[in-house]
Amino acid sequence: LREKFGCPGSRLGQSNPAARICVLYDVMNHLAIKGLFQPYAESEEKVVLDVLEGLELSPSLLLFDRGYPSYWLMYCLINRQTHFVMRVPSNANRTVKAFIESDLSDITVDIYPSYKSLAKLKQMGIWISQTTPLKIRYVKVMLDTGEVEVLATNLYDSSLYTIADLKKVYFMRWGIETFYGYVKEELQLGQFSGIRDICIRQDFAANLFLFNLQSLIEKQCEPYIEQVCKTRIYKYKVNKNISWASMKYGVVKLFLFRNTNSVLMELQHLFEKHLVPIRPGRKFPRARKGRPNCKNYTLTNYKRAL
């Protein structure tokens, strides 16, 4: 596994094998569209095109955090007629630095490739010159903390796509972080059933399948939840931690019995029995827990359901 995936650095010497996962996630429907299990040394930026390969992206809007923005990636997305919104680091380039220091909140400029982007595009078989412009729109968004973030997009029409719209859309990217939280903590992604490469990859694919199945069944519970909320103060949602436990044996029945409809209805009724209130405005400071260097284990903030 060390040879296959690599290891992160450790002050105690050679550490345990580690891998990097990259998932294309639908934040509107809460579904994992495609996921890759990559060696630890592979960067997110490097594997993103592998995740997007073979997919029809023209009607979609892709959201990226600040680890992704680069000329070559934007160039590839624009040429595929794909819209995107990316958070840009404050020190990304001179244009971004000047934009932050200015009084402007919305600009559209031409950017040019760095030598790194030229080399990356050349490696992909795309030959352009250093004077090839790329039209990018930058906007400033103000967070509740007073911090200013810069977003880059190819949605150029400021009257149709306002700064408030882009801020709202980018905030939806938080659903990607909660997705990783679910698969890593509640679904116990790091607890593999074997130590061979094929076992680990199968467990990863099974986790994505289980997550999507749970999302689809939860979607079916919405009419019932809407009826329940009419007589309650708060809005409610399915308790995901308990729903995983409900599916522990139900998923096996789906592959054993022909009458899968009855199994799915049984799971839906179990989901509807365990609801939790949605309390708006709740915020908690991020607590960083210590992790020993000798062994990987799952950190949970609640009682395990699996």
User: In angstroms, how far is the first alpha carbon of the chain from the final one?
Assistant: 26
232-256 pLDDT, tens digit per residue, is 888 899 998 889 888 888 888 888 8
Report residue 207's pLDDT band, with 50, 70 and 90 as the boundaries. Answer: very high
Mean pLDDT within 199-220: 94
What pLDDT is attached to residue 169?
A: 93
- The whole-number pLDDT of residue 288 equals 61
Residue 105 has pLDDT above 50, yes or no: yes
User: Confidence class of residue 291 from pLDDT cuts 50, 70 and 90?
Assistant: low
Element housing 166 (H / E) = helix 163-171
Q: pLDDT tens digits for 178-202?
A: 999 888 888 888 888 888 999 999 9
What was the pLDDT predicted at 287?
Answer: 61
Cα-to-chain-centroid distance, residue 288: 21
263: alpha, beta or left? (left if phi > 0; alpha if psi -120 to 50) = alpha
Of 208, 190, 198, 212, the closest CA to residue 19 belongs to: 190
The answer, yes or no, to whether residue 265 has pLDDT greater than 90, is: yes
- Sketch out the chain's domains with CATH numbers: 2-172 (3.90.350.10), 194-278 (no CATH)
Note the pLDDT tens digit of each residue in 295-306: 455 555 556 665
Q: Confidence band (pLDDT; 50, 70, 90) for 294? A: very low
For the segment 30-52, what is each residue's pLDDT rounded down to a tens digit? 999 999 988 888 877 778 888 88
